[in-house]
Amino acid sequence: MKTLLRTVLVLFSILVAVPAGADDTMTIAYLELTGDPRYRDKAVEARYLGQPWGRPFAGADAARRESKFVGSAIGVDFQLERIEGKDAAELIEGIKSLPGPPVSFVLADLPAQVLSQVAEGLSDLPLLVLNVSAPDDTLRQASCQANLLHVFPSYAMLADGLAQFLVSQKWREVLVLEGPLETDRQLVRAFERSAKRYGLEITEKRGFLLGSDPRKREQNNLALLTRGDYDVVFVADTEGEFARALPYRTLQPRPVVGTEGLAPLAWHWAWERHGAPQLNNRFRKRAKRGQTGYDWAAWMAYKAVVEATLRAGTTDFAAVSAYLRGQDIVLDGFKGNRLSFRPWSNQLRQPILLGTHNWVIDRAPIQGFLHASNNLDTLGYDQRETLCEQ
Amino acid sequence: MRAIAKLALGAILAVCLAADPALSKETGYIFVSSEKDHVVTVLDGTSYELIKNIETSERPRHLQLTPDGTKLLAACGDGEAIDIIDLATLKVTDRIDDIDDPEAFDLSPDGRFMYISLEDDGALGVLDMQSQEMVAEIEVGEEPEGVLTGPGGEVVYVTSEVANMVHVVDTESRELKANILVGNRPRRFAMTPDGEELWVSNELSGSISIIDPQTNQVIDEIVFAPKGFRPEDVTPVGVIMTADGATAFVALGRANHVAVVDVPGRKVEDYILVGNRAWNAALSRDNTRLLVANGLSDDISVIDVAKRKVIKSVPVGRVPYMVVIDD
């Protein structure tokens, strides 16, 4: 009842503010790395499942256009400032030297290491950094930072979503193929954690390599790699070239999941429920491509700042950031559930879509996977598992 | 003036009820739009047997009878058209084309203008039903959805799912009069018969915001919490009131229930179990039966209003969206 009263009071205060039309500016900065390898032309062209198909700035820009009306209705001019830099130092300088009033919210499309450095370098300023593309678990766990929120799901959340699906299908015996990259190993670690959590059996874990060197056939020959008995193959290939050649080449006639076949995703261009077609149409019209999870996260981050500003009824940083991180916020991610940030890890709780190249097969949390307070918290590190000390 | 107001009220109720009894020839049929099969299913009003599947443009959603009760209008989102179905022949006899993603609409009290939410344009369109031309577009928040013509037709209310607002549009000047911040993802409206309260369903907040149309302010909120469901599964969309303004029925989406609300007391009295993702609802003219479209079980639930129980469920097309009873 108290919350209801508070909601009503908040509504009243905003209603009073609506016609006032005070001209306030809220600048949202957007950081990206020059030559970021995740957006190399070849990878983007390949349309790998679960990888970006272009710079997610397009998502932030879609959110900017969507928010124009709201902004003018409440008298706040939301601005999006794109800043590119070759390293953390340049990006930090870019934020500090932006003309006009200080920036309160920074959307960061950066690889984990640079992201950490940027958040660290900005930690003495009254601002929040929102991660829109780095899935690394450690950013939410041992290396978490108080001024860094994560809109993009973590590897742990993605792996949990997939594991729930495998359990619901009773595909319990899993062959794991692991790539040579550090991110491949991170993804496998996340999947191993999920397997243990949900009772999947990893029958074997094999490392793969690209190439056709007969001396390394144990690692590059698909038939040898996929021998044995299992229900499903989990492939961890964050680069993508190996995994895309794997389906239909497994020795056993079994499905491929992970970074190919069926992948856990933050978003999918073919998602049809919860108003998704409208969001996808708007994005495609401007960006001339389908929307990926990275675009979605940039869009969601921007929208979260707008929603918090709207409900806080002010552009004051302390008030807006408190609302943004608070548990009363209702964020609409077009994935059905109300989204909000987990206080123990600064991670946006959200459903995970299980998608193929052109369809969404299911949405996690899968029916039947329950949590004591919020079913979305069956995905990723829960409060009792947190290593994050802010 | 009062007579006009009464007529206008009639038009509002026509969202789900039949139109003015003096003019219409009621067929007794039930019409259900199916988003995925691109048909409007016609059922017999007593036996619930299938009469016909009327093929429409792609993705029909909102359905509404014309004030004279001779036609059924269907907004077809992917077909970018308003299909006009003749009730005597049960055929699409006319089609207004080139409308960008129409979703919901309401008519002016005289039926001359259609006020229609244009999802992709972020605008409320004003469609002249005689010339079949779009005569105005009023910019509102993104993804406008539910539309309701106010009593007398002086204002039109439209929700924006993305801006979380109800916009009040003056139909004379065709300008925005007010933006009212409500709950998250506002969807559909109902007005109390006395015109004193405007109810709007908030899909993501799981609630109804009650607006005072005199002041355009939110005066109260009703939160739904059916037993055994998490707040995130309570996604109200369709809302409809009995003719005496005593009771409202709110379809709770994924919570698979319809809430029965005491309107003057603003209290939830009951929850009725229906099919999967209960979306929009319609009351029979005598208010004894409530029909609910269940989007994810491809059927409609028939509820005995007095007993507050489902007495029948009837299969229809894929992803039913809206029900209209022509009685």
Q: Write out pLDDT tens, residues A302-354.
A: 999 999 999 999 999 999 999 999 999 999 999 988 999 999 999 999 999 99
- Copy the structure tokens of residue A80: 């999006």
The average pLDDT across B272-291 equals 96
Name the β-bridge partners of B242: none
The average pLDDT across B56-62 equals 96
- Interface test with chain B among A306, A309, A338, A362, by most B beta carbons within 10 Å: A338
Residues A16 and A60 in one domain: yes
Name the β-bridge partners of B115: B106, B126
Residues A296 and A341 in one domain: yes
Q: Is B101's CB within 8 Å of A281's CB? A: yes
Residue B164 clears pLDDT 70, i.e. is over it = yes
Q: What confidence tens digit (pLDDT) does each residue in B178-199 have?
A: 999 999 999 999 999 999 999 9
Residues A166 and A144 in one domain: no
Residue A266 binned pLDDT confidence (cut-offs 50, 70, 90): very high
pLDDT mean across residues, chain A: 93
Residues A171 and A144 in one domain: no
Q: Is residue A11 part of a domain?
A: yes
Domain boundary residue among A240, A263, A286? A263
Q: Is B204's CB within 8 Å of A15's CB? A: no
Residues A161 and A213 in one domain: yes
Residue in chain A nearest B176 by alpha carbon: A73
Total count of domains within chain A: 2
- Interface test with chain A among B181, B184, B215, by most A beta carbons within 10 Å: B181
Shortest distance between the Cα of A186 and any Cα of chain B, in A, equals: 31
Shortest distance between the Cα of A154 and any Cα of chain B, in A, equals: 22
Residues A134 and A170 in one domain: no
Q: Is B204's CB within 8 Å of A12's CB? A: no
Q: Is A281 on the interface with B (CB under 8 A)?
A: yes
Q: Is A278 on the interface with B (CB under 8 A)?
A: yes
Please choose, from the candidates A214, A219, A222, the residue with its C-alpha nearest in 3D space to the C-alpha of residue A248.
Answer: A222
pLDDT mean across residues, chain B: 92
Q: What confidence tens digit (pLDDT) does each residue in B7-27 have?
A: 544 444 444 444 444 444 678
The average pLDDT across B156-175 equals 96
Partner-chain residue, chosen from A275, A307, A310, that has the shortest CB–CB distance to B143: A275
Q: Is residue A378 part of a domain?
A: no
Q: Is residue A106 part of a domain?
A: yes
Domain boundary residue among A316, A334, A350? A350
CA A268 vs CA A249, B35, B170: distances in Å: 26, 21, 39
CB within 8 Å of chain B, chain A residues 144-203: none
Please choose, from the candidates B281, B139, B25, B155, the residue with its C-alpha nearest in 3D space to the C-alpha of residue B147.
Answer: B155
Residues A29 and A146 in one domain: yes
Partner-chain residue, chosen from B141, B218, B235, that has the shortest CB–CB distance to A15: B218
Alpha carbon distance B59, B82 (integer Å): 11
Domain boundary residue among A263, A284, A318? A263
Q: What confidence tens digit (pLDDT) does each residue in A343-355 have?
A: 999 999 999 999 9
Residue in chain B nearest A278 by alpha carbon: B120
The average pLDDT across A361-380 equals 95
Alpha carbon distance B210, A229 (integer Å): 60
Residue B50 clears pLDDT 90, i.e. is over it = yes
Residues A181 and A232 in one domain: yes
Using CA atoms of A134, A139, A145, A147 in order, give the dihedral in degrees to the nearest 10. 20
Query: Angle at the Cα of A133 (from A129 to A135), degrees rounded to 5?
Result: 100
Residues of B in contact with A7 (CB under 8 A): 221
Tell me, what's the pLDDT at B121? 85
Residue A388 clears pLDDT 70, i.e. is over it = yes
Identity of the residue numbered A386? T
Residues of B in contact with A70 (CB under 8 A): 141, 162-165
Residues A106 and A254 in one domain: no
Tell me, what's the pLDDT at A380? 98
Tell me A349's DSSP state: P
Residue A22 clears pLDDT 90, i.e. is over it = no
Residue B230 binned pLDDT confidence (cut-offs 50, 70, 90): confident
The average pLDDT across A51-62 equals 97
Q: What confidence tens digit (pLDDT) does each residue in A276-297 have?
A: 999 999 999 999 999 999 999 9
Q: Is residue A368 part of a domain?
A: no
Residues A147 and A171 in one domain: no
* ipTM of the complex model: 0.78
Residue B119 binned pLDDT confidence (cut-offs 50, 70, 90): confident
Residues A212 and A278 in one domain: no
The average pLDDT across A43-55 equals 96
Residue A100 binned pLDDT confidence (cut-offs 50, 70, 90): confident
Beta strands B207-212 and B198-202, pairing class? antiparallel
Q: Is residue A384 part of a domain?
A: no
Residues of B in contact with A278 (CB under 8 A): 101, 119-120, 143
Range of the domain at A33: 2-153+268-350
Residues 6+ apart with CB under 8 A from B86: B70, B71, B92, B93
Residues of chain B with pLDDT > 90, as a percent, come to 87
CATH at residue A206: 3.40.50.2300
Q: Is A17 on the interface with B (CB under 8 A)?
A: no
Q: Is residue A40 part of a domain?
A: yes
Residues of B in contact with A275 (CB under 8 A): 143, 161, 185
Residues A29 and A176 in one domain: no
Tell me, what's the pLDDT at B319? 95
Q: Is A375 on the interface with B (CB under 8 A)?
A: yes
Q: Is A9 on the interface with B (CB under 8 A)?
A: no
Residues of A in contact with B122 (CB under 8 A): 69
Residue B63 clears pLDDT 80, i.e. is over it = yes
Residue A11 binned pLDDT confidence (cut-offs 50, 70, 90): very low
Beta strands B71-76 and B39-43, pairing class? unpaired
Residues of B in contact with A73 (CB under 8 A): 141, 163, 165, 179
